[in-house]
Amino acid sequence: MSLDVKYVAIFGVIPWSMACAYALWRQPRKFSRAASIAAIVVALSLMWEARAYLATGNPFFPFYAGTALQRDEGRLNHRMAKLLTVPYDVHFHGKRNFQSPTQNPMGIVLLLLAPLWLLPRPSGAPQRMEGALWLFVIVYYTLWTFEAAVLRYAVAPVLLLAVLGAARLALFPKPLAIAALGAALLFSIPDLILIEMAPAQIPLFLKRIDAATFLRATLPPYGAVEFLNQHAAPSDSIASVGDWSAAYAPNPAKFHLVYLGKRIYSPSAVLELLQPADRYLILPSRPNLAELESAARQDRRLTRLYQDPHFVVDALQ
């Protein structure tokens, strides 16, 4: 059912399916059991695809709906190099890889736990279960590195790595293990509250700000879409360069975009994106706004309607 929430769950579905296939192969009546599990999975995982198809005509909306996302199409050696460089990036380039206010959202928890992974398993630890967890982490990490490399999409393997490291604390005296876990909690909670929650989440929980104010403070693309919610009709087609917040648009089915996960877009991206029916165009405010608008003016007349530090909204004629 995680696929009903977001399709990046496929990173976990693949290793989970591999583990299930191995377990089924060792069971009696393997084929009937496999058919039963497949029927349950299909029944539970296709509900939202069916709903999306009925609403938009596209079962995978918003994918394959005029939306372009970044993919790593580099050579094989470059893709292999990413397997080694991404762990450094997610630890020390947090603003780019985690959309975080700090450059180090991961802290040092995995760096501290890494030596523990090399220790022998505690006596009595189930070998196959731990092997299945490592299979999940390795396959998930490989797929995630090539396709996303955004830290929030790797919460599952990060938590498993923490569990695999914490399990080795059973090899140490109990008071020492409890002290280590307590210190980790003591140092992480204040950072979480002060850096991630205090600026906007706590005021929202205390009802000192409303949802729109919270989104404006935490989601840079929201301002442009909020403006369109107030001025555009649900039937208006909207083209967007870099603003991916389609869920907040007047009509997500009429919102198509190109998003490459970077700050600089080429004029050709605008020309490829624009459709004759488009009424509004969202462009990044910097660094090459004039160049992008110039490209759009080759075929359309633009009128500036809205601008904030992150995006502008132009009417198209």
Q: How does pLDDT run across 53-78, given as a tens digit for each residue?
A: 776 666 666 555 544 444 444 566 76
Task: Please give the Cα distance from 306 to 308 (Å, whole number).
Answer: 7
Predicted pLDDT at 5: 65
Using CA atoms, how far apart are residues 239 and 264, in angstroms rounded to an integer?
17
Altogether, the residues listed in the chain come to a count of: 317
DSSP state of 68: B
> Which pLDDT score is estimated for 306?
93
- The DSSP annotation for 7-29 comes to GGGHHHHHHHHHHHHHHHHTSTT
The reported pTM is 0.66
Q: In what order do the strands lie in the sheet with 255-258?
A: 255-258, 237-241, 278-284, 311-316, 302-307
Pairwise CA distance, residues 289 & 297, whole Å:
12
**Domains in the chain and their CATH numbers?**
1-65 (no CATH), 70-123+140-198 (no CATH), 218-316 (3.40.190)
**pLDDT tens for each residue of 104-158:** 777 777 888 888 888 877 666 577 788 888 999 999 988 888 776 677 788 889 8
Evaluate whether 133 touches 142 at the Cβ level (below 8 Å). no
Q: Which of 128, 141, 130 is nearest to 170 (CA)?
A: 130
pLDDT tens track for 187-227: 777 766 776 666 778 888 888 888 888 888 888 889 999 99
Q: At 180, list the tokens.
A: 């280590």
Residue 133 near residue 164 (C-beta atoms within 8 A): yes
pLDDT tens-digit map of 257-313 = 877 655 678 888 788 888 889 999 999 888 888 888 888 888 888 999 999 988 999
Cα first-last separation, the chain: 43
